[in-house]
Structure 1
Amino acid sequence: MLAITCLPAQARDRRTVAEPVAPNYVCARLAPSGENDTVTLQDAVAQCPPGSAVYLTGGIFLSGPLEMKSGVTLWIEGGATLMALAQPNAYDKGRGSCGRIEGKGDGCRPFISFSKARGGGIYGEGIIDGQGGALMVGATESWWQLARRAQAEGGNQNVPRLIQIDHANDITFHGITLRNAPNFHVAMNRVESATFWGVTIDTPAGARNTDGIDLGASQDVTITHCQIRTGDDNVAIKAGSNGPTRHISITDNYFGWGHGMSIGSEVSSGISDILVHGLTLDGTTSGVRIKSDVGRGGLVEGVTYENVCLRGNRWPINFDTRYDVQAHGNKIPVYRRITLRHVRGGDGALVMHGLDRDHALEIVLDDVRFSDSATWQVENANVVISGVWPPLRGGQGPLSSRAWDGCAGAFRQPLSKALNGLAPR
């Protein structure tokens, strides 16, 4: 079903965002001890005043969980690595479940938490390493192996997230590299105003549930000049029962392996006003993706993708309302005012599946061109077409049979801070 739908939406972070500048005042300058630095690091954060930074000099700092303070920045210089202990009891929430497979997850504290913080963040050219592939202390498997065993046997792995930002405002990440998270690299819940500028996230493709940046119930967030490759969604925008997510800008980024630029699957509180501009997706399984079902659906509207380049994707476009085909419920996924403009790609399946005729997708395709071998899979969708290749059934203006011009020289290339040192597995 193809028909005329509405006009493109306006969408973006409502702030004026400029490249962040690190604090002028360093209140503590630390060198690694060669042993467990948790107490030293936590004491420095606690004693520093708002507007200042804890500065980590070259070497490896080994630490357990850290809690950040409002207005305090963790500044990790180039050549320095903050490494998470692979020790389940250091993260356990008191139930003895961290590092185990159980019916419930969420048994571990995050490595770094920003809870009810106002201001502050993480800066520098250094590295935060979650040691997801290292053997857990007292165990014969890594965090990642535990997650794969949970997938095979059933149950939930209890493993720590690398960074959790919860009920926070004005948080900034600049220049830092995050790698080898046991679970999500950055998870956000009820965050207002956050900036991720020039961040690198680098984790093997086979590391289960290692999303790059997850936004939940948040607003006015910008992710820009970042490069992300990981074992799950490169970026995921969510809105479960905890509140809506809106006014998000994802601009000038490069994604390597992963599951793509995702919205969902939890969208029951509504997602709106999303701008994705200047994105290259190189070898992600899905490219631009909206996923939900009747168990967790809701309204997704006002999403604009423009100047997007897709290479080596199985599903370059994947807008699906049946993410879990076994789902039951009455939370209807509705996607409307979704615009794709100046999008280029190769082959693969181009999926637009609305739930039914009464809840058809509303899509605008403006200058969207893939190779001759790409295939459209369209059900229950109202689509405006302008300059689309391969053609959709329903007709459009004339196009040359060689209309696809590939991604060569288009929009984005990998950033100068190269991803290296990891192979997909």
Structure 2
Amino acid sequence: MRSSLIISAFLIIFCLQSLAKVGAPISPLVAPGTISANSATLVWNKPEVYSDVVRYHVILNGKEIGISAKTNYTLKNLSPLKTYTCSIKAENKLGELSAGSTTLKFTTKASGKILTVTEFGAKGDGTTVNTVSIQKAIDACPKGGTVRIPKGIFVSGALFLKSNMTLEIAKDGVLKGSGDTADYMPFINNRFEGWEMKTYASLLNAGVMNNKGGFAVEQLAIKGEGTISGGGGALGKAMIDQNGIRSRGRLICLMNCKDVEIQGLTIKDSPCWTIHYIYSKGISCHDLNISSTARNGDGLDPDSSDDSYIFNCTFSTGDDCIAIKSGKNPEGYTIGKPTRNVNISNCVFTRGHGISIGSEMSGGVSDVLVQDCTAGALLHGMQIKGTKDRGGYVKNVTVADCQLLKITIFSAVNYNNDGAAAPEPPVFENFVFRNIDLSKAPTKEPVININGFKAEGHKLKNVVFDGVKLPASAEIKVNDALNVKFKGMIIDNGTTPKYVVQDSENVQHQAK
């Protein structure tokens, strides 16, 4: 009888815990910088238990107004200066709806004046350099206003944006970066590959870099249905030839900015990194098509910045698709500005080196979520990378519900390792890889290859792989690690992967 009571009590507690997990509230928020007079974009977390969730219902002012299979939704046709309440309900495979999420309240902005650059003398003929005319429109833009690039190809050199404005590239409109390096002078204070230095200006610039903190530009939007196109590899090569490889500008560079939205655009042909933001907070990049072929042609680089939301984007790049950074070696370690809270979801990565954290991560990186993404044959797949000289840390990273072709954690890279070392090696810890489809991964190299640092106290630690589909003949390598658990590693033909474990402790693996 006593044992039956104990079992019954255990079952009751288990059921209550399960109900608590199922009932864990969805918590929607407005993605930073996305509130305008007529729209706002919501993002939310999945319920704690979500395996049977098929879609979400969006409730606005008590009325259902939309359905989304993703964990984001853009509200349109809103009224200016009106307060709205909204919530989210999850729907399961049986068509049952959850209780409503926590309620979110926000107020739209006032309608602003629209200035078209042609009113200031700009010509969309594809040859006229319009830097002066477009900058005049930006400088004249009132608070809450919009500068519009209409249909046509508007060539320009470096432009400098400001707070409380929108730069809109209209459908069939192109903001085209000049191919002349003189159009990106004078040099500005910037950061590249982890070091603060002077570089050419970018095509679009916002803010002034200051590692002591504060925000130079707030409430900025760069959006539309058009295209931002740079000078590409040819401009990058010209910048290298004149002032060295680290002199190149970006296509879009934000420095000490807060609450910025980059949305809807095709963004291509950067001379170097495509979108780079430094010492910033609350940056939302969504519904973008980003492509590059230039040397070091990263797609998007959050750098010593907090609260990034990157979703519904497509990447095809000549280097890392996304590279999360925070400075390099002693300088980055001393400045000590981490990148925190990066949420990457519903993105497609068709070409490039990887979805990356590092290699410049000396200020620290934490609380990264990569979810519901699909990756093609990226050179290194989903990768976390550094060197023993970097210092800093990478911790609390979750990769879930993704289709990938490789997972790598590197403790050494054969590039960008010049300069003095930080005072101690990095710490890599607390990583979760859950519900990952690696079944199409090539098997000439390890499908999962994870490595820590050899120094005492710096082994990779606390890593979980849970529910990973693997190809036949898959190999998994683990080096210099502590507390690594593999569970639910699935191969369709019923075989088990080959584990190669070296200089590691407490590495556990099971098929189911």
Deviation at 1:63, TM superposition (A): 0.5
Structure-2-length-normalised TM-score: 0.66
What are the superposed Cα offsets for residues 367-422 of structure 1, whole Å, 9 maximum, x if unpaired? 122212332221011311211252536553345xxxxxxxxxxxxxxxxxxxxxxx
**Is the CA contact 1:293–1:331 (under 8 Å) kept in the aligned structure 2?**
no
Residue 27 (str. 1) matches residue 114 (str. 2) = yes
Letter of the aligned partner of 2:200 in structure 1?
C
- What SS is found at the alignment partner of 2:134? helix
Measure the CA separation in 2 of the matches of 1:293 and 1:112.
Answer: 32
The answer (yes or no) to whether the contact 1:26–1:55 under 8 Å persists in 2 is no
What's the counterpart of residue 11 of structure 2? none
> Structure 2 vs 1, CA of residues 268 and 331 (structure 1 numbering), >3 Å: closer, same or farther?
farther
Query: Deviation above 6 Å: which 4+ runs of structure 1?
Result: 20-23, 147-150, 325-328
* Alpha-carbon distance in 1 for matches of 2:247, 2:368: 32
Contact 1:80-1:127 within 8 A present in 2 as well: yes
Structure 1: distance between partners of 2:468 and 2:285: 28
Q: What is the alpha-carbon distance in structure 1 between the residues aligned to residue 186 and residue 202 of structure 2?
A: 10
2 CA distance for matches of 1:157 and 1:218? 21
Q: What are the within-5 Å matches in structure 2 for residues 131-170 of structure 1?
A: 131-133=231-233, 142-146=234-238, 156=245, 158-170=247-259
Count of residues paired in the alignment: 362
Superposed counterparts of 1:92-111, under 5 Å: 92-93=185-186, 106-111=198-203
Does residue 1:352 correspond to 2:444, yes or no? Answer: no
CA shift digits 1:279-338 (9 cap, x unpaired): 111121111111111221321111000011124xxxx11101122487763331211111
Q: Which residue of 1 aligns with 2:204?
A: 112
Q: Which amino acid aligns with 1:385?
A: F
* Aligned match of 2:286: 197
Helix, strand or coil for the counterpart of 2:283?
strand
CA distance in 2, matches of 1:374, 1:148: 42
> How many Å separate the matches in 2 of 1:392 and 1:16?
44
- Partner of residue 78, structure 1: 171
Paired residues of 1:106 and 1:159 also in contact (CA < 8 A): no
Summarize deviations over 1:266-288 as a string: whole Å, max 9, x none.
Answer: 22221111111011111211111
Aligned equivalents of 1:94 and 1:181: distance in 2? 17
SS in 2 for 1:392: strand
AA aligned to 1:388 is M
Instruction: Give the conservation status (yes or no) of the 8 Å contact 1:147–1:208.
Output: no
Asked if structure 2 preserves the Cα contact closer than 8 Å seen for 1:366 and 1:388, the reply is yes
* Structure 1 contact 265–297 (Cα < 8 Å) conserved: no
Go from structure 1 to structure 2 and tell me whether the alpha carbon gap of 1:37 and 1:145 turns closer, same or farther (over 3 Å shift): closer
TM-score (norm 1): 0.79
Partner residue of 1:281? Answer: 375
Cα 1:77–1:47 change in 2 (3 A) is same
* Alpha-carbon offset, residue 53 of structure 1: 0.9
In the TM superposition, residue 14 of structure 1 has moved relative to its aligned partner by 9.8
Are the counterparts in 1 of residues 240 and 248 from structure 2 also a CA contact under 8 Å?
A: no
After superposition, the Cα gap between the structure-2 partners of 1:125 and 1:77, relative to the gap in structure 1 and judged at 3 Å, is same
Q: Which structure 2 residue ranges, 5 or more long, are not aligned? A: 1-26, 32-41, 43-73, 78-108, 189-195, 208-215, 491-496, 501-506
Distance 2:413 2:170 in 1: 42
Range moving further from structure 2, 218-227 or 302-311: 302-311
The superposition leaves residues 212-233 of structure 1 with CA deviations (integer Å, 9 ceiling, x where unpaired) of 1101111011000001111111
2:460 is the alignment partner of 1:361: yes
Match of 1:212 in 2: 299
1:320 matched to 2:320? The reply is no
Q: Which residue of 1 aligns with 2:140?
A: 47
Query: Contact between 2:475 and 2:498, CA under 8 Å: does it hold in 1?
Result: no
Deviation of 1:93 after TM superposition, in Å, equals 2.5
Where does structure 1 lack aligned partners over 5 or more consecutive residues?
1-12, 96-103, 134-141, 400-425
- Measured against aligned partners, the alpha-carbon deviations of 1:167-201 in whole angstroms (never above 9, x if no partner) come to 01000011011100001111111111110110110
1:68 paired to 2:161: yes
User: How far apart, CA to CA, are the structure 1 residues paired with 2:169 and 2:239?
Assistant: 29
Task: Find the residue that maps to 2:256 and give its secondary structure.
Answer: strand
Once the two structures are superposed, the pairs formed by residues 118-137 of structure 1 within 5 Å of their partners are: 118-133=218-233
Q: Distance in 1 between matches of 2:428 and 2:240?
A: 32
Q: Which moved more, 1:78-87 or 1:381-390?
A: 381-390
Number of the residue aligned with 2:9: none
Find 2:387's aligned residue among 293, 304, 318.
293
Secondary structure of the 1:42 match is: helix
Letter in 1 for 2:452: G
Contact 2:113 2:142 in 1 (8 A): no
SS state at 2:307 partner:
strand
Q: Secondary structure at the match of 1:46?
A: helix
Q: Distance in 1 between matches of 2:133 and 2:238?
A: 30
8 Å Cα contact 2:176/2:228 also seen in 1: yes
Which residues in structure 2 correspond to 1:296-311 (within 5 Å)?
A: 296-311=390-405
Separation (CA, whole Å) in 2 of partners of 1:75 and 1:336: 41
SS at structure 1 position matched to 2:217: coil
Residue in structure 2 matched with residue 392 of structure 1 by the alignment:
499
Higher RCO (CA-CA < 8 Å; seq separation 6+)? 1
Q: Name the SS of the counterpart of 1:120 in structure 2.
A: strand
Whether the 8 Å contact between 1:293 and 1:324 is mirrored in structure 2 is: no
Letter in 1 for 2:449: V
- Shift, 1:94, TM fit: 5.5
Residue 159 of structure 1: CA displacement?
2.4
Q: Structure 1: how far apart are the matches of 2:268 and 2:75?
A: 22
Structure 1 residue matching 2:424: 3-state secondary structure: coil
Q: Tell me how far apart the structure 1 counterparts of residues 386 and 28 of structure 2 sit (CA, whole Å).
A: 26
CA RMSD of aligned residues (A): 2.6
In the TM superposition, 1:161-180 aligns within 5 A as 161-180=250-269
CA distance in 1, matches of 2:206, 2:244: 28
Is the alpha carbon distance of 1:70 and 1:94 closer, same or farther for their aligned partners in structure 2, counting shifts above 3 Å?
closer
Matched, 1:244 2:347: no
- For the residues of structure 1 that align with 2:396 and 2:511, how far apart are their CA atoms? 28
CA distance in 2, matches of 1:48, 1:149: 37
- Per-residue deviation, 1:80: 0.6
What is the deviation of 1:252?
0.7
